[in-house]
A and B are shown apart, each in its own frame.
Chain A
């Protein structure tokens, strides 16, 4: 017996809510070029309905009407459509594995390019910058930190985080095998931690969508964490295809703790490098 479950025979075609979502996402794409059409719909649906309530619209069609005619609303809607949750050294074991297993390979290159795709408010970028400084690779590395949310990119560039998050960040850094004290990298001002701007001197922050944009550079390592979970399988394949073209032969791809290439059409192009940590290496011939 086929273990897979067949598509739902009870789901009526042409359900109004399905139609409304499709039309709303199409409208957003045509008007603002944000393409959410290939996102995982269960979560998009929830978040669009939260937005609908927040904006006091009775239906998603009414929300569509407003988004089309009030461009300011799109900025706000973007904060519903993208999930901005991050931490410094999120999943410390990932950074520990990078440090112990990937960095030794990266050391063999005279210059390095690292792409942090879906960098959100910058926590992942600062984690990498600190890791690379500790490992003595900072001066030969160029980082690209990209995202589609301009507000998030602005915060990433500012590198200012609430002090109450620093306890967690410090603990994460320690668990990642940090060789220095996290407090070496920020100063406190106005109840916030302001990260040292030297950490981002080798970083280019840029608006880039994994759904609509192309590859822009050849890279040695792509880290794309907790972004693919918001995509459906086809869009995941597109994004993974971008990483595949961007990476040099034997380049590294790192995903979020619960993301996997296992269900991707492109899984063959990569080998598992550190399975537990979802670190992959591009195959020789891919």
Chain B
């Protein structure tokens, strides 16, 4: 069921393979706000695929990420409330100090169980539960960061499908997280930020096999 290469607006040729995507999960840490700013504002208001984001922040009380990005983006950007049904054309951020998990009935759950790799929210937890709930219909993206969170989660997504992307480590402000993700999934595509935005735009054009 591999589909042939699709030419996005840019020059980068990206293979779009497998089943149509129903969810996108993104993990970011140090340098992540900058990286997300180069991606999320490119999504049109009616972008059909829901996006879930974990970004590590200092464990402050309140994360302002959702407000910040809602102002910059055409799609709706929300901080996830517990048990919110995942909807199209929406980006969900994990709230500060809660893990974000995907349930098989396509709702989001929160949890304050112990941090993973010193992080709560942890990218691995979002990615692993998304892989479990969406199977091959989810794709994962690991962006800039200075730790190893996301590597195990990306592998879980890769093992159930084949669509995973890592920000080109050279371009990332903090390359450790992309490098760790690549070590776990050498088959992951490495793309610079502009190409990741294009990639997201091509994803929903992939037809069902």
Contacts and interface: CB of A to CB of B under 8 A. Distances in A.
Interface string B73-90: 000000111111111110
Interface stretch (A43-51, A65-73, A186-194): A43-51
Interface in B70-110: 79-89, 95, 98-99, 101-107, 109-110
Interface in B117-147: 125, 128-129, 132-137
B82 A47 contact: no
A121 to B, nearest CB: 13
A40 B109 contact: yes
A205 interface: no
Contacts of A226: 112
Nearest to B95: A258
30 contacts: A4-B87, A5-B22, A5-B86, A10-B19, A10-B137, A11-B104, A41-B104, A42-B101, A43-B99, A43-B113, A45-B132, A47-B113, A83-B111, A83-B112, A83-B113, A85-B113, A93-B61, A228-B82, A229-B109, A229-B111, A230-B111, A232-B105, A233-B107, A258-B80, A258-B82, A258-B95, A260-B81, A263-B81, A263-B83, A263-B85
A3 interface: yes
Residue of A4, A8, A91, A262 contacting most chain B CB atoms (<10 Å): A8
A6 B22 CA distance: 10
A263 B48 CA distance: 22
A188 B53 CA distance: 42
B137 A8 contact: yes
A237 B109 CA distance: 15
Interface residues of B, number: 41
A5 B50 contact: yes
Interface of A: 1, 3-8, 10-11, 40-43, 45-47, 83, 85, 91-93, 226, 228-230, 232-233, 236, 256-260, 262-263
A263 B133 contact: no
A5 B80 contact: no
Contacts of B102: 42
Given A3-B89, A42-B129, A260-B81, A10 B111 contact: no
Given A7-B105, A46-B101, 9 more contacts: A11-B104, A42-B132, A43-B109, A226-B112, A229-B112, A230-B111, A257-B95, A258-B80, A263-B85
